[in-house]
Amino acid sequence: MSIRRRTYPEVLENVLTGLVQGVAAEAHPFPPSDTPPFAHVLERSPVAAIISVYGSRNGQPFRFTENTDYVLANGQSLVWQNEGGQLPDAGTLVTVNYTPQSAQANQTDIYPGSVLRTLVETVALEISRLYAQLEAVYQSAYIDTAGGSSLDKVVALLGVERVTGNHPAGEVVFTRAGGSRGAITIPAGTRITTAAGDVEYATTTTVTVLDNQNTARVPARDLEATNDPLAADLLTVLPIPIAGIAGVTNPNPTSITTQAESDDELRARAKNVLVGSERATVAALRQAVERQGVSAEIVEDPAQPGVITVNTFTDQMSPELLQRIRTALADARPAGVFVKEPDVQTPAKVGLQIRLTTVSGLVPADLRAIQEKVRAAVADYFAKLPAKANAGLSKITGLVMAVPGVEDMRLLAATRDGAPLDIGGPELDLANQATVLDSLQLADPALPSQLSATITYAAATAAPDEPDIRSALAATFDYLNQLNQAELAPGAPAAEQEKRVISYGKLLLAIPLPGKPATPLQSYDAAPNPALLPAGGGDYGVTFAITMPGGLSQLLAAAGDAYTLTPFERLSLNIVTLAVEAANG
């Protein structure tokens, strides 16, 4: 049910029409039929004249004009003019004041200034004021039109309270995911939490990240007045991910604000809560868990009606996080439904090897930036992948190719918990198992990984020859780089696969040390019965560090340490450091 406020002129004309024995406020629905021309047959025909027609247009009271918006036809019908005329809002009522030809007025002194007209105007003014008050009461029941204390009561139905002054507030920065395209809307009321999930802020305005915009700054405030302001870079978690957004943070500390939440801010936040306030459904239970930063699966057992099983997928479940999940499930569960204790499952770890072909002529800093964007795009995709869903290879390819500077890409290999996955189909078959992206190895021939060598020795020991070590490592890298440019065929012998494994012993074998000549790695690989690899450098402490373009490093410092080259990955020498050990005592 809806009401339309009747203005003073309309009420006055209704009363005056009734005094002269006319028909006042005869109501007709609009439109009266499905197809034009629209016409209303008046009840007291024949009609001498139509005095006025009132209705709703664009949601507001409106007086329609005779011969422009409507005409009287055959003395019995009001016909709307489709061309050039204004029509009422569909689904509303129009009221018609008219005089039938049979009317015989007993009161005729209705002209301005007469006693009767003055009394009628006074009554009409009071009636119109009542209509205005009724409209205000009606609007106070809806979130779009309520204000002040009325709005507080409406949003209280959703469990939302106005944020008063003396709350911590600040600014958060949303960062677009690498490779994403199009405008991204971040609605008011979007929640951001700390890594521990113990403090939660909400944005106060709706913003749109444009297609060519990488970051957006949005004001946000703490919903709890009892919390202290936060230091910078603590608000970093989006409990409900936003497609195309890679991360969020507060670059500056938050502070106490004295300004209370305005009606517009409260209205926008309540609407966002309304969208996400689904209750008593499987989706609501899953969202309740995922708001705590944990992916989940909600299982209904047909054999046990009213019993819900919750499977959570995370490597670590602290007691605090588990308690937050229990509380969230209790708030969202339907009445009479039993939710079992959350079952914590460790997601399978997915590894990917991707070869990139980038635009030629780029400097290393630009190439590293491209790899960072690729990593961010793929990681964001897997973070938002529904639990137990397969990964689309075309989607991964599209995300990588969308990164500026990437000319081509090729998925070389994929694993789940170390076991190889088939990459020949449209999807990575994850076997109906929750997964998390564990490692992403990117190989770009234009950007090699770098190896650093550190050799320590006592002052009384002969110093190693740095130029000879550099020369030996350069020859080793030439051999490995050439070897790794040829892709291994499926089912290649283990000996061929082993050649692409760089172990601590192989590198020790390849470098010269005083009293130990260098053995080319190519000779070692070609020998039918290779000698045992050295386990250490004797009087010399030798460590190697391989740094990948993404910044990750792997240390080779003892027997058994090894690094496997990604197909097409190249190596280059960064630095050789010789250091004399300090004497004890």
Query: By three-state DSSP, how is residue 126 classified?
Result: helix
User: In percent, how much of the chain has pLDDT > 90?
Assistant: 37
Helices (H), 252-392: 263-275, 282-290, 319-332, 364-383
Separation between Cα atoms, residue 191 and residue 273, nearest integer Å:
10
Task: Please check whether residues 22 and 65 belong to one and the same domain.
Answer: yes
- Tens-place pLDDT, residues 483-509: 988 777 767 788 888 889 999 999 999
- Given a cut of 70, whether residue 1 has pLDDT beyond it is no
> Is the Cα dihedral 425, 431, 432, 433 positive or negative?
negative
Given pLDDT bands bounded at 50, 70 and 90, which one contains residue 584? Answer: low
Q: Which tokens in the block code for residue 256?
A: 């106490």
Task: Please check whether residues 215 and 122 belong to one and the same domain.
Answer: no
φ/ψ of residue 370, rounded to 5: -65, -45
How many C-beta atoms lie closer than 10 Å to residue 562's C-beta?
15
- Given a cut of 50, whether residue 585 has pLDDT beyond it is no
CB 159 within 8 A of CB 189: no
Q: Rounded mean pLDDT of the chain?
A: 87
- Tens-place pLDDT, residues 41-61: 999 989 999 999 999 998 889
Within a domain: 154: no
Within a domain: 275: no
Given pLDDT bands bounded at 50, 70 and 90, which one contains residue 551? Answer: confident
Q: Average pLDDT, stretch 30-41?
A: 90
- Given a cut of 70, whether residue 92 has pLDDT beyond it is yes
Nearest alpha-carbon partner for 556 in 448, 437, 449: 449
Q: Average pLDDT, stretch 408-416?
A: 90
Within a domain: 116: yes
> Is the Cα dihedral 454, 455, 459, 465 positive or negative?
negative
CB 228 within 8 A of CB 168: yes
- Tens-place pLDDT, residues 519-533: 999 999 988 888 889
Task: Please check whether residues 289 and 228 belong to one and the same domain.
Answer: no
Q: Which residue has the higher pLDDT, 297 or 358?
A: 358
Q: Which tokens in the block code for residue 491?
A: 């089912």
Separation between Cα atoms, residue 340 and residue 325, nearest integer Å:
12
Task: Provide DSSP, 516-581.
Answer: B----HHHHHH-SSPPPPPSS-TTSEEEEEEE-TTS-EEEE-STT-EEEPPTT--EEEEEEEEEEP
Q: Which residue has the higher pLDDT, 328 or 396?
A: 396
Within a domain: 55: yes
Q: What is the CATH number of the domain that holds 329?
A: 3.30.300.90
Peptide bond into 46 cis (omega under 30): yes
Separation between Cα atoms, residue 187 and residue 203, nearest integer Å:
8
Within a domain: 255: yes
Q: For the chain, how many structural domains are there in total? A: 5
What's the domain range around 92?
A: 8-137
Query: By three-state DSSP, how is residue 239 classified?
Result: coil
